[in-house]
Amino acid sequence: MRIEMLVFDGVDEMDVMGPFEVWSLAAGRSDLEVALVGLDGPVEVTGMHGLQFKAPEGLGTPNAVFVPGGGWLNRAERGSWAEARRGVLPARLAELGPRLDWVGSVCTGSMLLAEAGLVKGRPATTNRNAWDEFEAFGPVLKKNRVVDDGNLVTAGGITAGIDLALRIVERELSPELADRIARSMEYTRDGDIYLS
């Protein structure tokens, strides 16, 4: 399974780095593959807090796409709010979504999935500070840390992305591997998962 993590200027660094750590550890013990990708090709990104990093590839033909957030709540000039206004990323997600094994998000990355029309009528979550706005897109809002609705997997704010990543490892590979990775990261799994 290949997971492509879409990154963009203004992304919240923890939204990216937590899940990337989990999936990178899983990749070393399975056939899972994880890549940071830019929407339009390789990109150098400056995160919300100034961390600079590279996505060496562009969005390709993955099995799954993961969308982080950042910059939505404060309507930042760079971040998920800006990407929604630009419109290209939500349009691409709307096109890709139905063909993927799953699409996922953490924090206000869920707002980009909402803009793409991928959450309407489905159990989903986002950062608690965006719940009211999120509900306007028509999801069945769940206030859990992670919401697993099969081919749509969403997580609440920031660190919940680690729980989502571990849930994917548990679901797609094995519970034992997810537990081993959590222990190796000295991370205590929350367990607040809504399964539909």
Q: What per-residue string of b and e applies to 27-48 under the rule 16 or more CB within 10 Å gives b?
A: beeeebebbbbbbeeebebebb
Alpha-carbon span 177 to 147, nearest angstrom: 20
DSSP secondary structure string, 63-80? Answer: SEEEE---STTTT-SSSH
Per the annotation, the verdict on 107 as an active-site residue is yes
Pick the catalytic residue from 107, 116, 162, 166. 107
In three-state secondary structure terms, 196 is coil
- Residues assigned a catalytic role: 107
